[in-house]
Structure 1
Amino acid sequence: MTDSTEPTTGPENAEAPLHRRGIKSYVIRAGRMTQAQTRGLEDVWPRLGLTLAEGRQALDALFGRQAPRVLEIGFGMGQSLIEQAQTHPDTDFIGIEVHAPGVGKLLDEADKRGLTNLRVYREDALAVLEQCIPEGSLDTLQLFFPDPWPKKKHHKRRIVQPAFVELIRTRLKPGGTFHMATDWEAYAEWMAEVMEAAPGYTNTATANTAPFVPRPEFRPLTKFEARGEKLGHGVWDLIYRREA
């Protein structure tokens, strides 16, 4: 019998528990807070911040309307999510990020731009999906540039695992999409392997590009990504649709 803390070399099976003791897909990194970031956490959080303690959300009541809903896991410093929320005022966005500087920056920027179609969790994404997001409520779930955990002994920490994508499927509406992007080719191949084996999904890629899709115009090009493109670094997008 293999101990659950030993390294794995491939994706776990769909029955593997989402919350395994001591296993996290992220690391909390220390960072100095700017005045604007602190303002976001202290002054804007009471209006736009959400917690696990609030439990299952009634999203129409939360946003005060019926609208398409997009959830992004791991928005970093929030540049892409802010741009999307401003560009698409008729869509509601929920962001999840554990790092305080990024949460603070996004909240400060959202307030400065007067955005009302954005809410934020500073919690573990799996717990938010399980406890707070209703089934069949999301039009899109975005996972852009997650930690690739490149060493084989750390592959068990990768967030994209069969049980994770099954949880996402239950939160998407029929016809809703799961959009991933990574600048690590090996992780892109891992994502494709997991998704091709996952029931209830259809790859939206064409035969010419499968399993990947060209970067869609609606995914903002980040400064980090633009810099990487100039250096010849690749980026791989994958978009899968939940079947009815």
Structure 2
Amino acid sequence: MVSTSPKFPTGPASDPATSHHERRIRTFHARRGRLTRGQAAALERHWAEWGVEIDGTSLDLGKLFAGAGLAPDNPVILEIGFGMGDATARMAADAAAEGIGILAADVHTPGQGNLLNLADQANLTNIRIANGDAIILLREMLAPASLAGLRIYFPDPWPKARHHKRRMIQPEFVALAASRLRAGAAFHCATDWEPYAEQMLEVLSVSPDLINQYGDGYAPRPAFRPMTKFERQGLEKGHVVHDLLFTRTP
């Protein structure tokens, strides 16, 4: 039997949605990984306050971000897949000045610990970290029209043709995600895998709930999206990075 107890007494669970035994193609692999002392310490210090288990329980974003200094309408941007969290922390610092909260979802324990450590060091109280399956988060825990934005940067491209069905940006996912966005909220994706960028553009463009901010093509790289180590490595290999910036229809 696989243990579902957390690695730390107050840390993220290895399988928070234990009751969801769905026959669904997964877009991710859960990764625990080896932790540095700093990452482990940050999880122990802050997970109980800033961590969220994706277990299907409805979320009240106002309560979740209580004390974070958000604007009166509680604007929260969801980021799915933040890696080690460096870019997320930098964007969260800018968002804090505007009273915006960042709900960052991932399954990589070292990344969760690293982002908590970065938030602690920069005194960023507008970050919350969600552990688990983003589909369950969107479908069962977030209310319709509750998000001020959605960011998905460099998701797994699943390059082999037989694995394309595992890619996150599919019509069903886009319909679900768009339903959780407020009118005018941004749906922003980025990838350095050109065939995936083409699929993203096709899927997002046919959604009746989204409008391409740049006509029928890709967006220029926005200044607010920091360049990550992963992105620089891709550019060094000759990859072309594409941004896609859509907004929720009124």
Q: Does 1:114 align with 2:123?
A: yes
Whether the aligned pair in 2 keeps the contact of 1:52 and 1:131 (CA below 8 Å) is: no
Which residue is equivalent to 2:227? 221
- In structure 2, C-alpha distance between the alignment counterparts of 1:133 and 1:38, rounded to whole Å: 28
Identity across matched positions, percent: 43
Q: 1:20: Cα distance to partner?
A: 6.0
- In structure 2, C-alpha distance between the alignment counterparts of 1:61 and 1:221, rounded to whole Å: 32
Mapping 1:102-141, distance limit 5 Å: 102-141=111-150
Which structure ranks higher in relative contact order (CA pairs < 8 Å, sequence separation ≥ 6)?
1
Stretch deviating more after TM superposition (172-181 or 48-57): 48-57
Which residue is equivalent to 1:37? 39
Whether the aligned pair in 2 keeps the contact of 1:179 and 1:240 (CA below 8 Å) is: yes
- In structure 2, C-alpha distance between the alignment counterparts of 1:227 and 1:175, rounded to whole Å: 33
Mapping 1:17-28, distance limit 5 Å: 21=23, 23-28=25-30
Which residue is equivalent to 1:191? 200
- In structure 2, C-alpha distance between the alignment counterparts of 1:227 and 1:152, rounded to whole Å: 24
Which residue is equivalent to 1:46? 48
Query: How many residues matched?
Result: 223
- In structure 1, C-alpha distance between the alignment counterparts of 2:33 and 2:204, rounded to whole Å: 34
- In structure 1, C-alpha distance between the alignment counterparts of 2:165 and 2:56, rounded to whole Å: 30
Q: 1:228: Cα distance to partner?
A: 3.1
Which residue is equivalent to 1:63? 65
Q: 1:58: Cα distance to partner?
A: 1.8
Secondary structure of the residue aligned to 1:37 is: helix
Q: Deviations over 1:9-48 (max 9, x none)?
A: xxxxxxxxxx961521011245211111111222210110
- In structure 1, C-alpha distance between the alignment counterparts of 2:200 and 2:194, rounded to whole Å: 10
Mapping 1:152-171, distance limit 5 Å: 152-171=161-180
Mapping 1:197-208, distance limit 5 Å: 197-206=206-215
TM-score (norm 1): 0.86
Q: 1:226: Cα distance to partner?
A: 2.7
TM-score (norm 2): 0.84
Structure 1 residue runs of 5 or longer lacking an equivalent are 1-18
Q: Does 1:242 align with 2:248?
A: yes
Structure 2 residue runs of 5 or longer lacking an equivalent are 1-20
Which residue is equivalent to 1:179? 188
- In structure 2, C-alpha distance between the alignment counterparts of 1:194 and 1:127, rounded to whole Å: 21
Q: Structure 1 residues 45, 27: CA separation in 2 closer, same or farther (over 3 Å shift)? A: same
Q: Aligned AA for 2:157? A: P
Q: Deviations over 1:79-110 (max 9, x none)?
A: 11111111221211000000111111111211
